[in-house]
């Protein structure tokens, strides 16, 4: 397990056990359908992004809460298997480890129901206590499956220590994000639906993604990445922009493709890549992940991504 002094990336967020049910079609209201298969694996957006960062060579600590149950041990052991430091994960004696129920249809599209459990009991002071021990921290990764006040507290802390912040704004809260939070974000990475929910702009292509990005930058965000699914990824630093096509691969499961992207992106930033180079690398990582089923099980290693990049570049 990576020692505290070596850690460059802290992931503050959720830890779950995922129950993925494979269906020919998702049920309508009042309908009962038979599943073809079930896959039980560790998940949670926070843990997924930590796992992806660890798989791609990042030096990572996970910060969050689990219950005092069997799922907690599985979740932690899986992260430690990727050399991820788990000393920032607290045990909750009163609430279970979070659970996600994922319905995956024959088109490889998913619907997700999350039962937060211990994730909703994360405390801001616990986060800060863990972050204080990481003297060489460069990036704090955040999502929105823990209380918003904890996310805001972590972002405020990052600004005081001049640490980069990356936010995957999912799930989008009904009230949106505080304006003060946008101003402290170095990177925001919504998908098209999340970008629309936050900006009020329907996002479906490069032009509409550009408009949504202008909204976020008007709020003070430094760099914007908008994931457009099968169309690819739009990214801008306010001066330059890129639209990177999606990698054409047979799709088995889109679960955690965005988390794979996030972890790979932040690892490459931590390694010294430019913003746009890190986005390109992460696009390959996410593209490779959708060819496999499951969340963390689908996430490629750095070696697999490099080989994948090499094969695709030869085609160009």
What's the CA gap between 263 and 9, in Å, rounded? 10
259 is catalytic: yes
Give residues with Cβ within 8 angstroms of 296, minimum separation 6: 41, 42, 43, 47, 48, 51, 52, 78, 256
What's the CA gap between 215 and 198, in Å, rounded? 9
**Rg (Cα) of the chain, in Å, rounded?**
18
Intra-chain end-to-end CA distance of the chain, in Å? 39
Its sign, for the CA torsion 100, 101, 104, 110, is negative
Between the alpha carbon of residue 24 and those of residues 112, 249, 300, the distances in Å are 16, 21, 26
Annotated catalytic residue within 18, 92, 186, 259:
259
| Tokens linked to 146 | 């823990």
Which residues are catalytically annotated?
A: 259
């Amino acid at each position: 397990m990576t020692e505290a002094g070596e850690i460059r990336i802290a992931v503050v967020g959720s830890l779950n056990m995922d129950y993925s049910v494979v269906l020919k079609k998702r049920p309508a209201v009042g309908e009962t359908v038979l599943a073809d298969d079930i896959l039980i694996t560790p998940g949670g957006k926070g843990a997924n992004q930590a796992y992806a960062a660890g798989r791609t060579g990042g030096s990572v600590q996970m910060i969050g809460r689990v219950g005092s149950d069997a799922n907690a041990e599985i979740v932690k052991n899986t992260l430690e298997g990727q050399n991820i430091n788990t000393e920032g994960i607290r045990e909750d004696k009163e609430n279970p480890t979070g659970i996600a129920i994922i319905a995956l249809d024959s088109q490889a599209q998913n619907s997700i129901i999350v039962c937060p459990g211990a994730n909703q009991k994360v405390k801001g002071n616990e986060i800060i206590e863990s972050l204080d021990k990481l003297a060489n921290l460069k990036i704090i990764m955040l999502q929105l499956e823990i209380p918003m006040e904890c996310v805001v507290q972590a972002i405020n802390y990052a600004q005081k220590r001049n640490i980069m912040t990356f936010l995957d704004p999912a799930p989008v809260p009904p009230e949106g994000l505080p304006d003060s939070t946008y101003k402290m974000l170095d990177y925001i990475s919504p998908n098209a639906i999340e970008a629309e929910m936050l900006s009020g702009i329907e996002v479906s292509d490069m032009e509409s993604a550009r408009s949504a990005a202008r909204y976020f930058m008007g709020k003070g965000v430094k760099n914007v990445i908008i994931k457009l699914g099968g169309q690819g990824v739009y990214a801008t630093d306010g001066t330059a922009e890129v639209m990177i096509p999606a990698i054409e691969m047979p799709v088995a499961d889109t679960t955690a493709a965005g988390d794979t992207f996030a972890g790979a992106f932040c690892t490459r930033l931590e390694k010294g890549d430019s913003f746009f180079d890190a986005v390109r690398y992460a696009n390959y990582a996410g593209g490779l992940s959708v060819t496999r089923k499951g969340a963390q099980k689908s996430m490629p290693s750095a070696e697999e991504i490099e080989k994948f990049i090499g094969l695709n570049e030869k085609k160009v």
